[in-house]
Amino acid sequence: MEINNDYTFSEIEVDTLQELMNIAFGQASADLAEVINVFIVLSVPSIKINKEESLTEFINSEIGDLKGYKIVEQSYWGKSRGVALLAFPHEAELELIAMFREDADTVVDAEMSDELDNEMLIEIGNILIGACVSKLAELLKDLVTFVPPRVISGEQLVEALVENRFESETSRVILLKTVFRINDRELSGHLFLLNNLDSIHTLKDALRAFWKQYE
Amino acid sequence: MITIKKILIVDDSTSARFFIKGCIPKDKGYEFFEASDGAKAVEAYKNYRPDVTFMDLTMPVMNGFEAIELIKAFDPKAAIIVLTADIQAKTAEKVTALGISSILKKPPVKATVEEALIKIQGI
């Protein structure tokens, strides 16, 4: 395995990280599919090391206008710290919640509806983020602890991005992104993992150890 | 009884292809071929006629489902082992219906890869 010992990743290190992300999201999809009767179409994940371009620019270029999005945000830490952002456009969020409700057979009055929608979104986020991050950590022989997830609006995310809140929390970031479609519908979401780059050497060592198993 | 000589490994990830190779016994003299998407896999299958094909499902250009269908249309007896991160029950149902030999989950493990190869050799 070609190794870069500085703060950049070699092509093969990025490829390995991408493959592990793919495995981790596969686990997350299967977990969600067990809870609600959906079939998730996976896509090839992408990874970017945020060096020069800002996080705001990156997320804007990936999603476009964040208004109308609801985002489940969940922080985690193990050998490195990170923040997961699961973003759904409003229509996708409503459809997903409807599916979740059908499955849970929940009847609620209108007043409780908003609160319950957020609760369901948090639950969906918890399953997807939890399974994905835990699997990634397991593959890299790490153990992560989670902060409870919360729902924020696209506007709040923009605010946090403008204030560099994530960047100050994570210093520099490794961005892992995956887009997924649910069933045959055009219902897609984005999952971003923003990882602390301070522990890049720990991550590189873990990738090297993973690779070594197959040499 | 099938004697395995040629193995085609299909995955868009260079690392994933390396991981699979790492799980296949090195002392059997197998000849390896690789493809990085479904379309290249179909082409490689037609050119090399491998005895076994390891196939990923989530790939750009052409996914593994389509590639399996095309390979099976060309050669209904093609022995295909699906190796995927997509471990949803519906995915397993879908690929099993396409007539694959085995489905294994990623990351590959030596014991299960060897078992899948033995199963094909026993056909």
CATH topology of domain B6-121: Rossmann fold (3.40.50)
Q: Is B82 on the interface with A (CB under 8 A)?
A: no
Q: At CB < 8 A and 24+ separation, what contacts does A122-126 make?
A: A122/A72, A122/A149, A122/A150, A122/A151, A124/A32, A124/A72, A124/A86, A124/A96, A124/A100, A125/A72, A125/A74, A125/A86, A125/A149, A125/A151, A126/A72, A126/A74
Query: Do B88 and A30 count as a contact with CB atoms less than 8 A apart?
Result: yes
Tell me if ipTM is over 0.90.
no
pLDDT of residue A178: 76
pLDDT tens per residue across span A13-27: 889 988 998 898 888
Pinpoint the alpha helices (H) of B49-88: 64-74
Q: Which residue has the higher pLDDT, B62 or A65?
A: B62
Domain locations along chain B: 6-121
Structure tokens at A91: 């229509």
| Mean pLDDT value of segment A51-57 | 60
Q: For residues B74-79, give the mean pLDDT.
A: 97
Q: What does pLDDT average to over chain A?
A: 78
* Strand, helix or coil for residue B40: helix
Most confidently modeled range among A31-35, B76-80, B119-123: B76-80
Tell me the count of A-B CB pairs closer than 8 A. 64
The residue extents of the domains of chain A are 11-212
The arithmetic mean of pLDDT across residues B45-70, rounded, is 96
Task: Render pLDDT for A124-177 as a digit per residue (tens, 0 to 9).
Answer: 888 889 988 898 888 888 889 999 999 998 888 877 776 666 655 545 566 777
Cβ distance B84 to A26 less than 8 Å, yes or no, reads yes
Confidence tier at A106 by pLDDT (50, 70, 90): low
Binning pLDDT at 50, 70 and 90, where does residue A52 land? very low
From the options 3.40.50.300, 3.40.1550.10, 3.30.70.20, 3.30.930.10, give the CATH code of A11-212: 3.40.1550.10
Closest by Cβ to B86, choosing from A15, A29, A139: A29
Chain B residues touching residue A26 (CB < 8 angstroms): 84-87, 105-106
